[in-house]
Amino acid sequence: MKLLPVSQRLNSNPLSNPVAETRRRLDGLGVQPPQGPVAITAGSRGIANLAAITRAAGDWLRDHGAEPFLVPAMGSHNGATAEGQRAMVESLGLTEEAMGMPIRSSMECVKVGEVASGDVWMDRHCWESAGVLVLNRVKLHTCFSGPVQSGITKMMVVGMGKIRSAQTFHSTPTPQMKHMLLEMGKLLIDSGKIWAGLALLEDGYDQTAEIHAIAPGDILTREPELLARHREYFPRLPIDEINTLVVKDIGKTYSGTGMDTNVIGRRGVAGGEDVEKPNCKIIAALNLVEASKGNAIGVGLADFIPQRLRDAIDEHKTFLNVYTTGDMQRGKIPATLADDETVVTKIRERYGDSRWVLVPNTLHLERMFVTEDLAGEIEANPICEIAGAPVELKFEAGRLALPFADDQVFAGK
């Protein structure tokens, strides 16, 4: 099988100085922070410049008389233990030494109120603080659609509420999640514990594009505007009808579900609305990245995996994350074959060689490979080009060996 290297021109708008922009935006709030301990949320993976932006926010708070500290805010992730969540935060470069502030990690929560699907909780350290700066990236959610999806509100509702609020939120029927997120978010804002939000937007190349500081009373109205801005940056596959999609690397570094459901066109949510495009008949996932710490949520969205991915799965961590969301299909183990080469061979034998797309992961879509029969559709796409000569589909010791990072392969015609 021969494959064409394809370059996709994504929306690029990187900030030249995220640290200075963080301080400028916080200055723009025009209000002093609480004069006491102020919590800063941490935990979302794969965010560009996260350490620098978090440190800048902490320094700004300290310069204005507050006492900043970090709180892991990641629902049920990394085993739903204080130790595991602290380790995850530190793995993101958010160590006490690097940030110049302590980390206070606990799974203890304080009940803030109730909604139709259950109780709403807040991390004890956040509740006992003088206020919380909720820091997160705004993006499309992988379970549901709506005016507010993944961002400041979800960090408050699910992240700060640990496994308890995560269970309350995810016990809501998927079509109602967009409403429950707003209801739980309003309850938390009305508690008076949220000092401000710091929302990050990333461009199509996964770089910090915009930073917005938001007063608590404006969070629920500003997030829909920021989500609309995010849609302008969001990278997608350039082909709508795909017979076989091969995703080299999966994991929570790339998406909360390992593979971004908005990219692959599968949500894996019973009773929920699926993504309209693309239509991928077969999906193969080949590797679980180490940064995911064994959490393979989303592996069930694939049809085939090799044994090495199966061996990398921490069943306990994956179960906890999947069980908390309630979408059990996302944790199911696909057909498992000996290695990458066997996976590809069996798919070719059964489903043929046409309309293949191969990507490094679902976050970085500026480079990919497609089968030669897709050349016309790629050339007709205004943001894509065939970037070089065809290459042979190769494997080394059974592993896929496509040169996604080789600049010479993608040097252009």
pLDDT tens digits for range 283-316: 999 999 998 889 999 999 999 999 999 999 999 9
167 burial (CB, 10 Å; 0-12 / 13-18 / 19+) is buried
Q: What is the DSSP string of 10-77?
A: ------S-HHHHHHHHHHHT-SPPPSSEEEEEE--SS-TTHHHHHHHHHHHHHHTT-EEEEEE--TT-
Q: What is the pLDDT of residue 323?
A: 85
Q: What is the pLDDT of residue 382?
A: 94
Would you say residue 230 has pLDDT above 80? yes
> Among candidates 220, 69, 50, which has minimal Cα distance to 133?
69
Above pLDDT 90, what percent of the chain?
A: 68
pTM over 0.85: no
> Among candidates 409, 397, 325, 311, which has minimal Cα distance to 360?
409
Would you say residue 225 has pLDDT above 90? yes
- Mean of pLDDT values over 321-328: 81
- Mean of pLDDT values over 11-28: 97
DSSP secondary structure code for residue 274 in this structure: P
Helix pair angle (219-233, 177-190), 10° resolution:
130
Would you say residue 38 has pLDDT above 70? yes
Q: What is the pLDDT of residue 62?
A: 97
Would you say residue 413 has pLDDT above 60? no
Q: Which residue has the higher pLDDT, 162 or 230?
A: 230
- Mean of pLDDT values over 101-129: 91
Would you say residue 272 has pLDDT above 70? no
CATH architecture observed for domain 18-233: 3-Layer(aba) Sandwich (3.40)
CA distances from 147 to 76, 150, 241 (A): 24, 10, 27
Least confident of 31-35, 146-150, 256-260, 299-303: 146-150
- Mean of pLDDT values over 81-93: 84
Where are the domain boundaries for CATH 3.40.50.11440 in the chain?
Answer: 18-233
- Mean of pLDDT values over 383-412: 92
Query: What confidence category does residue 412 fall into, taking pLDDT thresholds of 50, 70 and 90?
Result: low
